[in-house]
Structure 1
Amino acid sequence: MTLYKPSRRNFLLTTLGLTAAHMGRSAPSAPLTVGQVIDRIKANVGIPWREQTVDNLIAGSLEQPVTGIATTMMATLDALKRASAGGMNLIITHEPTFFTHQDRTEPFLQDPIYQHKRDFIAKQGISVFHFHDHWHGRRPDGIATGMIRELGWEQYADPQQPKLFTFPETTLARLAQGIESKLKIRTMRVLGDPNMPVRRVLASWGNVGLMHGIPYVEQADVIILGETHEWELVEYIQDANAAGRKKALIILGHLVSEQAGMKYCAEWLKGFIQEVPIGFVAAAEPFWRPDQPVR
């Protein structure tokens, strides 16, 4: 019996043919992982990543495949449940998951609410990424961009001072009513004369302390913020009015004052992540008024 021994040429052609056949088939792409999403965020946010930051993976693992991404202002248990029910297993939250700015869990290890939330996250296979410092540090600030867009205030913004807005003259009451309507706030609070003329407004989304707030008072008729210590900046503005200087304060609530910034974050992510669905999950406003019960 004569054994067939292929020539070197035939062997190479056969090998190349097999390779070409395999290459012609589309190999299944590897799933997008949590770590890859975070790497893309770091590459696209436009500022160097800080060594000291709260922007870290709080729950889950970098290797976990992503089925969908949800952005939210605050990773409340309610927001996590709604995101998970929608098939989103990577949650990008602006504020903490575990109650402190640094997401420190040591004080809560024996706490039943912490344990319930931790166990829900683990059971549902959720990863949570805290995205605060660099979203604010981005230029322009991601939270401010979203809030300005939501309010429709782009044309009134000062290009040199992004917190400052100049409006055609209105009253404090009309300004507050417009904000309340556009942001659908239940519990906004206003300090100042409702009929006070208003042109210059300074908005500092989120928390504003006394020492940051006092210089703001010199720049504008009205300061808009999320929250502040009532015995500090609120008292200061009360005293300013008692001294004959017409000033006003609009307190939106911390969550509402930054919510639209994370709505915008979902749009921003879509610019460099196409493999999985991306959506925004609004965290519920925590407070309600007795004359407007929660439905």
Structure 2
Amino acid sequence: MATPTTSRRTFLMASLGFTATKLIKPFSHQVLTAGQVIDRIKASVGIPWREQTVDNLIAGTPEIPVKGIASTMMATLDVLHRAADKGLNMVITHEPTYYSHQDRTEPIQQDALYQLKRSFIQQHGMAVFHFHDHWHGHRPDGIATGMIRELGWEKNIDSQNPRLFTFQETPLAQFAQGIASKLTIRTMRVIGDPQLPVRRVMASWGNVSLMPGVPYLAQADVLIVGETHEWELVEYVQDAIASGQKKALIILGHLLSEQAGMKYCAEWLKGFIPEVPIEFIASGEPYWRPDLPAK
């Protein structure tokens, strides 16, 4: 038979144990769902959520328990495999998962590759969230912020225009090489005299059409874009140079012209999602040069 002292000690320890269990239970057993992650993004992005937007849960359901989050530029099959291998079952992607800006699947419902990708996501209990419009709408623009940080251009920004940068005069070839090195680009394309002195630079990350490409170019020595139609802005720049204008165009490739913005997104997410690991997974540059080893 236990002594009164033992009974009191046992009772006290049991009481403390019960209290400790109650205190840690909400943290250790709390389930964070994909829907809750999206709700926190909506609450934290700093702008009203649009009714018409591509920013939606593209795969999975809001009820899926989140074990970890991957932030990426493009949810390619390769990225999905790497995320699954790391136990990151929610993927936040800036660009589409299913090959169109709106992630429309009607035209590819019978496509074997689409079915393979959809099945992989389902089999691994994954959720994929398209985060494009509101990340650009964040102030400052989340993609631009990440790109400027990656390039180290914070001190070069024009105070009146966040797309415009001023540098010490540098030959175009050297300036372009510096960008390629910092972003690890294999397939950058440049139009213009390699010796052109570069001081004022306009950067428009991602896809740029003829308009606003033309007025952007008018404000700078060189315009930097991710991609553009070759029969529009590329032809315009060629004609501008042929007419005697001292201009240049640098084409980075869409993916690498925005990728650092999703690297920054991973850091941003950590500020209000502490429960699960969050990691940036880089999408591979899709192109390679025949004179360089393909990765």
Q: Distance in 2 between matches of 1:171 and 1:275?
A: 48
Q: Distance in 1 between matches of 2:273 and 2:160?
A: 32
Q: Does 1:25 align with 2:21?
A: yes
The residue type equivalent to 2:55 in the other structure is D
Q: Distance in 1 between matches of 2:241 and 2:21?
A: 75
Task: Give CA deviations for 1:167-207 in whole Å, capped at 9, x if unaligned.
Answer: 01111111101001000000000000000011000000000
Task: Give CA deviations for 1:245-266 in whole Å, capped at 9, x if unaligned.
Answer: 0110000000000000000000
Matched residue, 2:202: 202
RMSD in angstroms over aligned alpha carbons?
Answer: 1.4
Q: Distance in 2 between matches of 1:220 and 1:174?
A: 17
Matched residue, 2:270: 270
Q: Does 1:187 align with 2:183?
A: no
Matched residue, 2:75: 75
By how many angstroms is 1:66 displaced?
0.4
**TM-score normalised per structure 2:** 0.92
The residue type equivalent to 1:131 in the other structure is F
5+ unaligned residues in a row in structure 1: which ranges?
A: 1-17
The residue type equivalent to 1:128 in the other structure is V
After TM superposition, list the pairs within 5 Å mapping 1:69-148 onto structure 2.
69-148=69-148
By how many angstroms is 1:21 displaced?
8.2
The structure 1 segments of at least 4 consecutive aligned residues displaced by more than 3 Å after TM superposition are: 18-24
By how many angstroms is 1:217 displaced?
1.3
Q: Distance in 2 between matches of 1:101 and 1:163?
A: 24
By how many angstroms is 1:111 displaced?
0.6
DSSP 3-state at the match of 1:162: strand
By how many angstroms is 1:121 displaced?
0.7
DSSP 3-state at the match of 1:266: helix
Q: Distance in 1 between matches of 2:116 and 2:30?
A: 33
Q: Distance in 1 between matches of 2:46 and 2:211?
A: 29
Q: Distance in 2 between matches of 1:246 and 1:59?
A: 48
Matched residue, 1:3: none
Mark the CA change 1:21 to 1:123 in structure 2 (over 3 Å): closer, same or farther.
closer
Q: Distance in 1 between matches of 2:20 and 2:78?
A: 47
The residue type equivalent to 2:264 in the other structure is Y
Matched residue, 2:37: 37
Q: Distance in 1 between matches of 2:167 and 2:260?
A: 21
The residue type equivalent to 2:72 in the other structure is T
Q: Distance in 1 between matches of 2:145 and 2:20?
A: 46
Q: Distance in 1 between matches of 2:167 and 2:279?
A: 33
Q: Distance in 1 between matches of 2:17 and 2:291?
A: 71
By how many angstroms is 1:19 displaced?
10
Matched residue, 1:46: 46
Matched residue, 2:150: 150
Q: Percent identity?
A: 71
Q: Distance in 2 between matches of 1:33 and 1:290?
A: 45
Give 1 or 2 for the bigger CA radius of gyration: 1
Matched residue, 1:15: none
Q: Distance in 2 between matches of 1:191 and 1:226?
A: 14
By how many angstroms is 1:24 displaced?
5.2
Q: Distance in 2 between matches of 1:25 and 1:287?
A: 54
The residue type equivalent to 2:85 in the other structure is A
Matched residue, 2:4: none
The residue type equivalent to 1:205 in the other structure is W
Matched residue, 2:7: none
Q: Distance in 1 between matches of 2:125 and 2:206?
A: 30
The residue type equivalent to 1:83 in the other structure is A
Matched residue, 2:284: 284
By how many angstroms is 1:119 displaced?
0.8
**TM-score normalised per structure 1:** 0.92
Mark the CA change 1:152 to 1:97 in structure 2 (over 3 Å): closer, same or farther.
same
The residue type equivalent to 1:147 in the other structure is M
Q: Distance in 2 between matches of 1:272 and 1:152?
A: 26
Matched residue, 1:237: 237
Mark the CA change 1:21 to 1:72 in structure 2 (over 3 Å): closer, same or farther.
closer
Q: Distance in 1 between matches of 2:80 and 2:170?
A: 40
By how many angstroms is 1:159 displaced?
2.1
